[in-house]
Every structure is written in C-alpha cells, then in structure tokens.
Structure 1
Amino acid sequence: MKDVVRRNFDASVDAYSTYERRTNRFTALAQLLAAEMRARTDGGFGTVLDAGAGTGVSTRVVAEMATDTIALDISREMMAEIESPTRLQADFDQLPLVDRSVDGVAFTASLFLVPDPEPAVREAARVLRSGGVVGAVAPLGWVRPDGKDVFEGLDRESRSPAGATEVRDALADAFAITTGTWRFSTTAANLRLFHAIPAMAARLYPNLDTEERVAKARELLDSLDGTFEQRWRWIVGVAE
C-alpha cells in the first residue's frame, strides 16, 4: 500500500503546486494547525517533525514556530521541492528517530492518506518528549449552500483511505486531544482542481492508473457549478 501512496505522490508534484497557488489551502491548514499546537505549549518548540511534508508548504509554516524542523515524506519527487535543511525520505509509520527526540509532530493533510493511522500515531507518541504536541487535519468533505453533500447524486464519493473519525480516534487512544472543524469557502473549479491531483483523484478512483483516474475525475465533476463549503477536522494532542 505504501508503494502505491509513494507513486501517487511522486506523480502529483505539479498538480499539487498548481492547486496550492490557486487556493493557498494547504498553507492555511498548516497555519491554523500551528496556531493550535502553539496554544498547547508554554515553552515553545525546539524540534518539530513535519510528517508528510509534501512539497514543503507545511514545512515553511512549521519552521516559523520551531528552532529546528525535520521535513519527512515518503515521496522522493515531493521531497525534491523542499528547502528545509533537514529532510528525510521515510515512512511515518517507521520514523528513523530515537525515542523522546522531538517537541512536536505535525501531520498537516497527511495522516488520512493511509488506511490505518494507528502505527503513525504510535510512532509520534514514541518520538515526542513529555509535554510534546501532535497535530493533524483530515477532510470532512464539501457541502452545498443548501447543506447537501456535493457528491450526493454523483456515482462516486470522495473518500480518504482513513476517515476523519478514524484519525481522531487513533490520536485519542494515545493522547489527550482537542478537536474542532475549520470551514473554507471554495468553488466548483477549485474542487475539480483538487481532484486533478493524482493522489487526490485516487479518492474517487483508487484502482485506476494515474492518467485514467484524473480523466475520470474531471468527467465526473464537470457538471458542478457554484460555490461550496469545504470542511476539515483538526485534532491536537499532548504527550504525557
């Protein structure tokens, strides 16, 4: 499964960057998550692990609140875009870090991309120092102005490998958590752009190859119009 995830993101760099330039969504998520994490520490952060750093959008935000930042991602192509001096190509289910070695772990838009978030959460608990902070976000979906799910009436739903509830529950098993919901206004055009990212088009058509899944996603979403609300669940926990 991790080989599939890596290949999906290796193929997603350009489309991911295009979506971020248009929407600034991943930057906004990282900034909001960083604020929630900072609110739960008195002494600030020494070393913070950006787990699932992607192209480094979240790493730039994390670096503003930490003395040292470690950018970690499973995708070599994504990692090549990151400017952080400390980069690790690795799986966050098996962190190449010693116990109690970091003050924060941020899973900005990454923990929901694996079917089982529990191994990554256990690893976060292992490497966090006492009083360290973990944060994660996971998508709750898109809603029309009338309150209906955008995908209602379509023959597909946009589904993460791990849902927001699974991410929250995994973190709650290991940490004392706080959680909430962020809401963003978005457009049909930006929803299509999100699903033009091969790794995100896999939310709709996980069993198709890269080009076919993106083409099918474009076809599925072509009739959508107007504005929607995109919702994300955030979860922050503190290590004992």
Structure 2
Amino acid sequence: MKEAVRSNFDASVPAYEAYERRTSRFGTLARLLAAEMTARSTGPFETLLDAGAGTGISTAVLAERGSRTVALDVSRGMLRANDAADRVQGDFDRLPFADGAFDGVAFTASLFLVPDPSVAVREAKRVCRSGGVVGAVAPLGWVDGEGVDVFERLGRESRSPAGAGEVEAALRAEFTVETGTWQFAATAGDVGRFHAIPAMAARLYPKEPPEERVRRAIDLLDALDGTVEERWRWVVGVADGGG
C-alpha cells in the first residue's frame, strides 16, 4: 500500500503543479491551516514539520510562521521539486525525528491519503512538544447548486483511503481539538484537474494503474459542467500542556 502511495505521488508532480497554478488551492489550504494553528499556539513556532510537503507549496507558507520548517514526504519525486532547505524522505507512520522535536506539525491535504491516520497522528504527537499544535485538512467533497454530491449524480464515489471523519477521530483521540469547514467556489474544470492528479484519481479508480485511472477520471468528469462548491474539513489539536 505504501509503495503504491509513493509511486502515485512520484507520478503526480506535473499534474499537481498544474492544478495549483490554476486554483492556488493547496497554498490557500496551507495558509488557512497555518492561521488556525497559530491562533491556538502558546508561543512562536520555532520548528515546524510539514508532513506531506509535496512540491513545497505548503512548506513555503509554513516557513512564514516558523524559524525552521522541515519538509517531509514519502515521494522522492515530490521532494525533488521542493525548494526547502530541510527535506526528508520519510513515512508518517515512523517519523525520523526525536520526541518533542517540533512546536507544530501540519498535514496539509495529506493525512487523508493514508489508510490509518491514527498511527500517523500518534507519531505527530510524539514529535510535538508539550503544548504544541497539530493540524490537518481533509476533503469533504464537491456539491452542486442543489447541495447534491456531484459524484452521486455521476454514479461514482470519490473516496480517499481515510475520510474526513476518520482524520478528525484520529486527532480527537490524542488531542483537545477544534474543527470547522471551509467552502470554495470551483468550476467543473477544477474538479477535473484535481482528479487528473494520479494520486487523486485513485479516489475514483484505486485499482487502476496511474495513466488508466487518470484517463477514466477525465472521461467521467467530462460530463460535469458549471460551478460547484468544494468543501474541506480542518482539524487542529493541542498537545497536553497547551492553553
């Protein structure tokens, strides 16, 4: 499973960057999450871990908040495109850092991509100091003007390895949490571009190889038009000792 996730993201760099150029979505999510984490921090972020850093969109945002931001990703291909000074290839389930090494850990659009987020959250808690902050973002989906999930109308489910509810439950089990929902206006084309990223096309066709799943996702979404509302759940937890 983990090897599949790694290869998915190695193959996703061009489409990931094309989607971000068009929508600025990942940068926006990182900026909003960073603000929620800062609001709940008991002090400045001297050290931050960008868990699932990708090509560095979220890393650059988090670097504005901390003196040192470490970019961690399972994908070597993603990390090659990341300009961060501190880059580490590693797994959420076994973070290669000492206990209490960070003031904050951010999973910007990444924690929902692992099948068991509770393991990753326990690791985030371990490497986070007492009173530190851990934040995560997960997609809730896309709905049309009538509030109906667009994939329900298309007869297909767009599902991550872990849903937003599982991400929230994993953080709630380890931290005192606050949570909320962000909504964005998006076009049908944006939904298509999101699912043209091989790692995200796996939400629709997880058993297909990357090129085939993207082709099928594009074919499916060709029937979608107009504008939709895109929804994301955010969850921020404070480790014991926080205010």
Tell me, which stretches of 5 or more residues in structure 1 are unaligned? none
1:222-237 alignment to 2 at 5 Å? 222-237=222-237
- 1:219 and 1:88 map into 2 onto residues whose CA distance is 36
Equivalent residue, structure 1, for 2:52: 52
CA distance in 2, matches of 1:70, 1:210: 29
The one-letter amino acid paired with 1:137 is V
Question: How far apart in 2 are the matches of 1:172 and 1:150?
Answer: 29
Deviation at 1:86, TM superposition (A): 0.6
Helix, strand or coil for the counterpart of 2:58?
helix
Could you report, residue by residue, the CA deviation over 1:130-185 in whole angstroms, capped at 9, with x for unpaired residues?
11000000000001011111111323111010000000000000000000000000
- Deviation string 1:20-73 (CA, Å, 9 cap, x unpaired) is 000000000000000000001132101000000010000000000001000000
8 Å CA contact 2:42–2:132 kept in 1: the answer is no
CA distance, structure 1, for counterparts of residue 212 and residue 155 of structure 2: 17
Superposition TM-score, scaled by structure 2 size: 0.98
Alignment of 1:1-240 (within 5 A): 1-240=1-240
Off by >6 Å, runs of 4+ in structure 1: none
Q: Distance in 1 between matches of 2:42 and 2:96?
A: 27
RMSD: 0.6
Distance 1:239 1:160 in 2: 26
Q: Which moved more, 1:9-18 or 1:148-157?
A: 148-157
Q: How much has 1:189 moved relative to structure 2? A: 0.6
TM superposition shift of 1:101: 1.0
| Amino acid in the other structure paired with 1:75 | S
CA contact (8 A) 2:42 2:131 kept: no
Number of residues of Structure 1 aligned to a counterpart in Structure 2: 240
Q: CA deviation at 1:121?
A: 0.3
Paired with 1:36 and 1:153, the residues of 2 have a C-alpha distance of: 34
TM-score (normalizing by structure 1): 0.99
| Structure 2: runs of 5 or more not aligned | none
* Counterpart secondary structure, 1:205: coil
Amino acid paired to 2:50: D
Aligned-partner Cα distance in 2 for 1:152–1:84: 40
One-letter code of the match for 1:104? G
Percent identity, aligned pairs only, is: 66
The whole-number CA distance in structure 1 between the counterparts of 2:5 and 2:110 is 11
- Cα distance in 1 for partners of 2:42, 2:127 equals 19
Equivalent-residue separation in structure 2 for 1:211 and 1:149 (angstroms) = 25
